[in-house]
Amino acid sequence: DQQVKQNSPSLSVQEGRISILNCDYTNSMFDYFLWYKKYPAEGPTFLISISSIKDKNEDGRFTVFLNKSAKHLSLHIVPSQPGDSAVYFCAASRTDSWGKLQFGAGTQVVVTP
C-alpha cells in the first residue's frame, strides 16, 4: 500500500530554470513531510521539511509547498543548477510514529546546461 506517491519518475530541466517536483499522499494522519536528495552510491541527504501547520517553507533555492486539502506537496528549485541532478524522494511521517518515514519512489532530476 503506497501511501506516498511520486508519479513522475524523471524530470529534465535546463540550468537556470525552475524544477517542480510533485508528491501526493493518501494518509490524512501524516503531519510532517520531508524531501531528501540522493546521489548514486550515496545515502539520501535531508533537503527541506514542512509541518502540516504550515503551507510553505523556504530555504535558499528550495521551497516546499503543502496543500493539505489536496494531500499534495511540491518542491520548487529555482534556479536549477547542474549539481541538483539527483534523485529526489518525498517522505511523510506521523507524530505518533515519527520514526517511520514513508517514502515515495523518487523522481530523477537531470539539469542540462
Interface positions with another protein (CB under 8 A):
4, 6, 32, 34, 36, 41-46, 49, 51, 89, 91, 93, 97-106
Pick the closer one to another protein by CB: 34 or 109.
34
CB of 68: closest distance to another protein in angstroms?
18
Q: Which three cell numbers stand for residue 90?
A: 518525498
- In the bound state with another protein, the residue whose beta carbon lies nearer, of 36 and 80, is 36
CA distances from 89 to 28, 113 (A): 19, 23
Cα–Cα dist 107/11, whole Å: 7
> What gap in Å lies between CA 26 and CA 10, rounded to an integer?
22
The nearer residue to another protein, 1 or 70, going by C-beta atoms, is: 1
